[in-house]
């Protein structure tokens, strides 16, 4: 949700800023802008649309400044216009600011500033902050550390969430940043220092980073940096090596990040699972849960909180954990949980799942759970993320940067970790060593099974082509394949803009069947055994009403003649990994379906990857 980059160093800032913005474009791509310190004024370039538009403007003006800030926007307050595009300058031209987040009390603050004769040129909440900093800067004239003090004073008046980078015309050697609620990281290079929403912005130029904590301010100077608190006291700055590589954040030979990330899944799953099985091969060993064994043995309820695709992984987790560990599981939308007064029943474990570890609603749900004294565990791909820091324990997904807005490898890894958690909790309860070993082996064979589906990607491209004119599609499955159906429908609608809905297969008759006609295909996920036979019966109900049917079916399961128009076979696997195996064809189907429509799958309309506002 908006990406920010700041650069202070001995090279031309525009290259570093544009490279950084390109890498952060997954956070928003409504408009982009940059401000450069030009000695006694700022030069500003702002364009609506993609970062490329800004890049071509900068190629013409070619600023040579070595100090600048830049922003790629996902609009919250104010339409997508040049005047609402960041950076925002203060009325007196002294302060330039880029902001990710929302200043909730910007209305009253704006009125106070207007009362002092300050005029605004945008509809954004962010411009209020640049003017507020300028106001305090003028007021504190002559004081020590005038710029940092003005920033602290301004922030103390703001409610809401922010990650900001700020420049002051009168302070040519300074770049300031601050965070509350939105991520901000300092990149420490050789003769150059960065500020960014995410370390991917400077991977390849910088080896070490300092992840700011909420309530911290970074003061970057040409000759070093300091981290202070909002009260002005020195804070500890722990630098750590960046865990991403240039290959992680670049597309390579693929057509899009989404395609790259779909095809990375065998390796990604291997990384998620590596070293996480007990020595006797019958259980899962999740380091981040160590020290909580007594609580895990005692717990009698699990509540998952998450948003979007991550929530679908939790819904699969509900089936898996209840089956393996016999612990009751509930899955909540994080945005609902945080405002609900849910009863604090028994020994409840709250598990928050978030690829980025920065989704605001998920973080607030964790904070609410902790206020209620509940044990919280995070499953996240975001190393050093807010979720990783704010939970009592956690497990990293280890799948590398996921840049495509539509989540793919993060989803399958989250489901794999739910299965691992189910295995670990199950072995603490009634699951036998033999059952445990079968599950561990099924998980270890998963990368190979996934790879075998990816090899048949061309068949899925042909199927997507066949159905690509449909504007309404249904995705249907039972049990753990029901959330997979939801995920298949979400993937398709978010990148192709076709309308798709996921339903439990048997629920078809309670409404969605009314949509069935020759233009509305149904995609069925079929399991083995008795339930699979019932799903096939549902397929026949659709066929009887002239609805086209594409069925994803395990090897060995017989599909009667006439029950489906197309059958795509997946390997017959243990039921614990079945949802992951069934997901892969749906990802490729959605990907090709959107590409056939010539859509940009990495930057779908109106979406952003990391939602750091409510």
DSSP code string of 154-222: HHHT--EEEEEEEEETT-TTEEEEEEEBS--EEEEESSEEEEESSGGGGBTTEEEEEEPPTTEEEEEET
Between CA 387 and CA 377 the distance in angstroms is 9
Residue nearest to ligand G6P (CB): 308
How many residues in the shown chain lie near ligand G6P by CB under 6 A?
16
Cis? peptide before 471, omega within 30° of 0:
no
8 A C-beta contact, residue 374 and residue 349: yes
Q: Which is nearer to ligand G6P, 264 or 527 (CB)?
A: 264
Whether 350 and 303 have beta carbons less than 8 Å apart is answered as: yes
In the complex, what is the shortest distance from the CB of residue 405 to ligand G6P, in angstroms, rounded to a whole number?
Answer: 5
Asked whether position 3 contacts ligand G6P by CB under 6 A, the answer is: no
Q: Is 612 in the site for ligand G6P (CB under 6 A)?
A: no
CB nearer ligand G6P, residue 19 or residue 261: 261
Residue selected from 58, 405, 443, 581 as contacting ligand G6P according to rule CB under 6 A? 405
Task: Name the minimum Å distance from CB 312 to ligand G6P.
Answer: 8
For 60, half-sphere exposure in the C-beta direction (CA atoms, 13 angstrom radius) is 6
Map residue 353 onto helix, strand or coil.
Answer: strand
In the bound state with ligand G6P, the residue whose beta carbon lies nearer, of 402 and 501, is: 402
Q: Is 407 in the site for ligand G6P (CB under 6 A)?
A: yes
607 touches ligand G6P (CB under 6 A): yes
Q: Which stretch binds ligand G6P (CB under 6 A): 27-35, 79-87, 404-412, 554-562?
A: 404-412
Q: What crossing angle do the helices spanning 13-24 and 51-61 adopt, rounded to 10°?
A: 170
* 277 vs 589, beta carbon nearer ligand G6P: 589
Reduced to 3 states (helix: H, G, I; strand: E, B; else coil), residue 377 is strand
In angstroms, give the least distance from the CB of 24 to ligand G6P.
14
Q: Which residues contact 579 (CB under 8 A, 6 or more apart)?
A: 316, 319, 320, 415, 480, 481, 483, 484
Region 575-594 residues binding ligand G6P, contact defined as CB under 6 A: none
Nearest distance from residue 410's CB to ligand G6P, in Å?
6
Rg of the chain on CA atoms, in Å:
25
CB 550 within 8 A of CB 565: yes
Cα gap 181→159, rounded to integer Å: 11
Question: What residues pair up with 375 in beta bridges, in sequence order?
Answer: 349
Catalytic residue among 2, 158, 418, 520: 2
Question: Helix, strand or coil for residue 224?
Answer: strand
In terms of CB distance, is 414 or 535 closer to ligand G6P?
A: 414
Q: Is 611 in the site for ligand G6P (CB under 6 A)?
A: yes
The C-alpha atoms of residue 576 and residue 459 are separated, in whole angstroms, by 26
Residue 285 known to be catalytic: no
Is the CB of residue 445 less than 8 Å from the CB of residue 416? no
Catalytic hit among 94, 493, 603, 609: 609
Give 131 or 309: the residue with its C-beta nearer to ligand G6P.
309
Closest separation in Å from C-beta 411 to ligand G6P:
8
- For residues 136 and 493, which CB has a smaller minimum distance to ligand G6P in the complex? 493
Does 609 qualify as catalytic in the annotation?
yes
Which stretch in 146-154, 263-271, 403-411, 529-537 sits in contact with ligand G6P by CB under 6 A? 403-411
For residue 212, the minimal CB distance to ligand G6P (Å) is 19
User: Min. distance of Cβ 387 from ligand G6P in angstroms?
Assistant: 8
How far is Cα 398 from Cα 186, in angstroms, rounded to an integer?
A: 22
**Vertex 505: Cα angle to 511 and 446 (nearest 5):** 150
* Residue closer to ligand G6P (CB basis): 127 or 318: 318
- For 10-24, b/e burial (b = at least 16 CB within 10 A) is eebbbebbbbbbbbb
Site string for ligand G6P, 151-190 (x = CB under 6 A): ----------------------------------------
| Length of the chain counted residue by residue | 614
Tell me which residues in 355-374 interact with ligand G6P (CB under 6 A): 355-356, 359, 362
Distance CA 258, CA 601 (A): 7
**Quick one: which of 256, 348, 354, 412 contacts ligand G6P (CB under 6 A)?**
354
Print the binding letters for residues 291-320 with ligand G6P: x by CB under 6 A, - otherwise. ----------------xxxx----------
Nearest distance in Å: CB 26, ligand G6P? 9
Active site residues: 2, 609
Residues that bind ligand G6P in the complex, under the rule CB under 6 A = 307-310, 354-356, 359, 362, 405-407, 607, 609-611
């Amino acid at each position: 949700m908006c990406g920010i980059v700041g650069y202070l160093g001995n090279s031309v800032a525009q290259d570093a800023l544009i490279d950084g913005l390109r890498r952060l474009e997954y956070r928003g791509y409504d408009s982009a802008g940059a401000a450069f310190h030009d000695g006694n004024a700022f030069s500003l370039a702002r364009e609506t649309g993609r970062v490329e538009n800004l890049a071509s403007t900068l190629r013409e003006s070619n600023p040579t400044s070595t100090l600048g800030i830049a922003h790629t926007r996902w609009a919250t307050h104010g339409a997508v216009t040049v005047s609402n595009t960041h950076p925002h300058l203060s009325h007196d031209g002294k302060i330039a600011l880029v902001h990710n987040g929302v200043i909730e009390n910007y209305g009253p603050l704006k009125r106070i500033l207007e009362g002092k004769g300050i005029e605004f040129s945008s509809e954004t909440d962010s411009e209020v902050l640049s003017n507020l900093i300028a106001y305090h800067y003028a007021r504190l004239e002559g004081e020590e550390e005038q710029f940092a003090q003005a920033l602290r004073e301004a922030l103390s008046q703001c409610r809401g969430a922010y990650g900001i980078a700020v420049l002051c015309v009168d302070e040519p050697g300074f770049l300031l940043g601050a965070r509350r609620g939105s991520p901000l990281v300092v990149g420490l290079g050789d003769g150059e220092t960065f500020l960014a929403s995410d370390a991917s912005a400077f991977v390849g130029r910088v080896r070490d980073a300092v992840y700011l904590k909420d309530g911290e301010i970074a003061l970057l100077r040409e000759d070093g940096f300091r981290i202070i608190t909002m009260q002005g006291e020195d804070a500890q700055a722990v630098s750590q090596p960046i865990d991403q590589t240039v290959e992680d954040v670049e597309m390579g030979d693929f057509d899009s990040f989404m395609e790259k990330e779909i095809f990375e899944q065998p390796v990604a799953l291997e990384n998620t699972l590596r070293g996480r099985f007990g020595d006797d091969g019958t259980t899962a060993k999740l380091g981040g849960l160590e020290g909580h064994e007594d609580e895990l043995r005692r717990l009698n309820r699990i509540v998952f909180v998450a948003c979007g695709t991550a929530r679908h992984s939790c819904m699969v987790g509900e089936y898996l954990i209840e089956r393996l560990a016999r612990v009751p599981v509930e899955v909540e939308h994080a945005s609902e949980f945080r405002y609900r007064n849910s009863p604090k029943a028994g020994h409840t474990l709250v598990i928050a799942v978030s690829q980025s570890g920065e989704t605001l609603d998920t973080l607030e749900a964790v904070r609410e759970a902790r206020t209620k004294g509940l044990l919280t565990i995070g499953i996240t791909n975001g190393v050093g993320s807010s979720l990783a820091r704010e939970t009592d324990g956690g497990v990293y997904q280890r799948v590398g940067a996921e840049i495509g807005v539509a989540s793919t490898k993060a989803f399958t890894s989250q489901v794999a970790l739910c299965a691992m958690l189910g295995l670990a909790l199950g072995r603490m309860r009634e699951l036998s060593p033999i059952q445990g070993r079968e599950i561990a082996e099924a998980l270890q064979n998963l990368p190979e099974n996934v790879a075998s589906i990816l090899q048949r990607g061309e068949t899925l491209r042909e199927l997507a082509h066949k159905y690509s004119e449909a504007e309404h599609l249904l995705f249907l499955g039972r049990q753990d394949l029901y959330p997979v159906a939801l995920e298949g429908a979400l993937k398709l609608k978010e990148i192709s803009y076709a309308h798709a809905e996921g339903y439990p297969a048997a629920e078809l008759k309670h409404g969605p069947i009314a949509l069935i006609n020759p233009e509305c295909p149904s995609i069925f996920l079929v399991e083995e055994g008795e339930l699979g036979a019932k799903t096939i019966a549902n397929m026949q109900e659709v066929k009887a009403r002239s609805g086209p049917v594409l069925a994803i079916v395990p090897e060995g399961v017989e599909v009667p003649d006439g029950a489906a128009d197309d059958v795509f076979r997946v390997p017959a696997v243990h039921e614990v990994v079945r949802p992951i195996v069934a997901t892969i064809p749906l990802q490729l189907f959605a990907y090709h379906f959107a590409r056939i429509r010539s859509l940009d799958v990495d930057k779908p309309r109106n979406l952003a990857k990391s939602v750091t506002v409510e």
